[in-house]
């Protein structure tokens, strides 16, 4: 039998392992930070109608510029952002990949602050971009001094700041983003996948004006409850969008994807109606973990990284045995738990109290 390593694969991919959060079918899946609420029937019907309408032209290639979708995304973002400042792809992972294809590559370097989103290093590997991770401070915070010093030392072509950070939930102040921008001549990507869950008015969208090397990456996979549709996007200077046009595959966003996302965006208020409840569940989870004597980290996202767990692998398995899937991110003594519905949050708190509470 042929093994992967028998193939003449690129040296830089030899021995690598793919992204792999376990996809298990369980009653309560709180492992990949999805919005676990279902989309309401009337919105689903509207999305279906729009997809059905789009099928009339399915013999033709899609609008390569996804003009209508970019208009809707610009309106959704506000901050004076125009359709020409918006670019979209099949998930923000593809957005990141396109950014690496345009601004990274051999002899180029990317920088981020660990622990952070595991896809940054994987995309760096697949594009042969050197990748440096500088450790975060106490409680996984980052500040102006850390970020500025790291950029001055490593002189990266791409800087990735995840805000709020996955997997720690840590918010990042705009002061840090501004300092990072001022310290670099490279591209600064602020990954705001969880921005809608943040109560603070701290989106880097407000910094875009006059900063042509700043990119804000967003997604419909989390707050919008649309992970299966695969729609990520960025807001940036028009020139950044021109760079994306050089590396994207022609017609990369299917007619069906465009139709689904357009319909969803026309209902953005209702689509995001569950966000307030998810925040409440996150805060409830945080307090419950403290009450258990565990060590949750402050989070501005829809998940909580819980520290102080003596044996995370065992607790992960014990939860799974009860039909609850959470994420072991590999940080010692922690598990990451997505804030789900009220019932799901109640279930995970009850299970952890049973497993780890004072006997
Ligand atoms: C979930 C997540 C994304 C979203 O990826 P999609 O490809 O849009 O589903 C991006 N960045 C971070 C940090 C994430 O956690």
Q: Is the pLDDT of residue 168 over 90?
A: yes
Ligand 1 neighbourhood includes 171 CB (under 6 angstroms): no
User: Is the CB–ligand 1 distance for residue 166 below 6 Å?
Assistant: yes
Q: Is the pLDDT of residue 200 over 70?
A: no
Decide if pLDDT at 202 tops 90. no
**What percent of the chain is predicted at pLDDT more than 90?**
93
Three-state DSSP state, 219: strand
Interatomic CA distance for residues 219 and 196, integer angstroms: 10
Residue 219 Cβ < 6 Å to ligand 1: yes
Mean pLDDT of the 85-99 span? 98
> What letter would DSSP give residue 12?
G
Q: State the pLDDT at residue 20.
A: 75
Give tens-digit pLDDT for 256-285. 999 999 999 999 999 999 999 999 999 999
Q: What is the pLDDT of residues 223-260, one digit of tens each?
A: 999 999 999 999 999 999 999 999 999 999 999 999 99
pLDDT at 78 over 90: yes
- pLDDT value for 15: 87
Query: For 14-72, how does the pLDDT look when each residue is reduced to its tens digit (9 = 90+)?
Result: 888 888 777 899 999 999 999 999 999 999 999 999 999 999 999 999 999 999 999 99
With a 6 A CB cut-off, is 169 part of the ligand 1 pocket? no
pLDDT, mean over the chain? 96
Q: What is the pLDDT of residue 18?
A: 85
Between the CA of residue 219 and those of 53, 153, 300, what are the distances in Å?
Answer: 24, 31, 16
Cα–ligand 1 centroid distance for 276 (angstroms): 20
Nearest to 81 by CA among 286, 238, 301: 238
Give strand ranges (E) for the chain.
28-29, 86-89, 109-114, 130-135, 158-162, 187-191, 214-219, 232-236, 295-296, 303-307, 324-325, 335-338
Average pLDDT over residues 352-359: 87
> For residue 327, what is the DSSP state?
B
Mean pLDDT confidence for 344-354? 98
- Assess whether the C-beta atom of 117 lies below 6 angstroms from ligand 1: yes
Residue in 98, 165, 221, 230 to alter for ligand 1 test, most ligand atoms within 8 A of Cβ: 221
How many angstroms separate the alpha carbon of residue 99 from the centre of ligand 1? 14
- Kindly state if the Cβ of 91 falls inside 6 Å of ligand 1: yes
Q: How far apart are CA 104 and CA 169, in angstroms?
A: 27
Pure H helices in 129-229: 144-154, 174-183
List the domains of the chain with CATH numbers: 4-30+274-356 (3.90.1150.10), 41-269 (3.40.640.10)
- Ligand 1 centroid – CA 93 distance (Å): 6
Whole-angstrom distance, CA of residue 76 vs CA of residue 203:
13
216 lines ligand 1 (CB under 6 A): no
Instruction: Give the residue with greater pLDDT, 214 vs 1.
Output: 214
Angle of the 312-321 helix axis to the 342-356 helix axis, nearest 10 = 120
Q: Is the pLDDT of residue 146 over 90?
A: yes
pLDDT of residue 359: 58
| Cα 32 to ligand 1 centroid, rounded to whole Å | 9
């Amino acid at each position: 039998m042929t093994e992967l390593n028998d193939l003449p694969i690129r040296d830089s991919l030899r021995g690598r392992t793919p992204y792999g959060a376990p996809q298990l079918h369980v009653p309560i899946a709180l492992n990949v930070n999805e919005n676990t609420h279902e989309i309401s029937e009337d919105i689903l019907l509207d999305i279906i109608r729009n997809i059905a309408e789009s099928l009339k032209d399915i013999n033709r290639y899609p609008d390569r510029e996804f003009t209508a979708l970019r208009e809707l995304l610009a309106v959704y973002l506000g901050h004076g952002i125009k359709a020409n400042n918006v670019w979209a792809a099949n998930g923000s992972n593809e957005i990141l990949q396109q950014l690496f294809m345009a601004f990274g590559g051999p002899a180029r370097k990317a920088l981020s602050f660990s622990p952070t989103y595991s896809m940054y290093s994987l995309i760096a590997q697949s594009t042969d971009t050197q990748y440096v991770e500088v450790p975060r401070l106490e409680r996984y915070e980052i500040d102006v001094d850390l970020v500025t010093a790291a950029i001055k030392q490593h002189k990266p072509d791409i800087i990735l700041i995840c805000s709020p950070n996955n997997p720690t939930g840590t918010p990042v102040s705009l002061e840090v983003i501004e300092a990072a921008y001022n310290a670099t001549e490279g591209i600064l990507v602020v990954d705001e996948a969880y921005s809608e869950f943040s109560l603070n008015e701290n989106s880097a969208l407000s910094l875009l004006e006059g900063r042509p090397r700043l990119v804000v990456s967003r997604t419909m996979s989390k707050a919008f409850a649309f992970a299966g549709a695969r729609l990520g996007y960025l807001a940036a200077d028009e020139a950044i969008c021109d760079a994306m046009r050089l590396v994207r595959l022609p017609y990369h966003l299917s007619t069906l994807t465009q139709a689904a996302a357009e319909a969803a965006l026309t209902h953005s208020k209702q689509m995001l109606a569950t966000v307030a409840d998810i925040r409440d569940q996150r805060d409830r989870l945080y307090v419950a973990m403290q009450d258990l004597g565990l060590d949750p980290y402050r989070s501005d996202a829809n998940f909580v990284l819980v520290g102080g767990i003596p044996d995370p692998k065992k607790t992960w398995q014990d939860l799974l045995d009860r039909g609850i899937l959470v994420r072991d991110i590999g940080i010692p003594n922690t598990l990451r738990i997505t804030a789900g519905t009220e019932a799901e949050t109640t279930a995970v708190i009850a299970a952890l109290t049973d497993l780890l509470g004072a006997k």
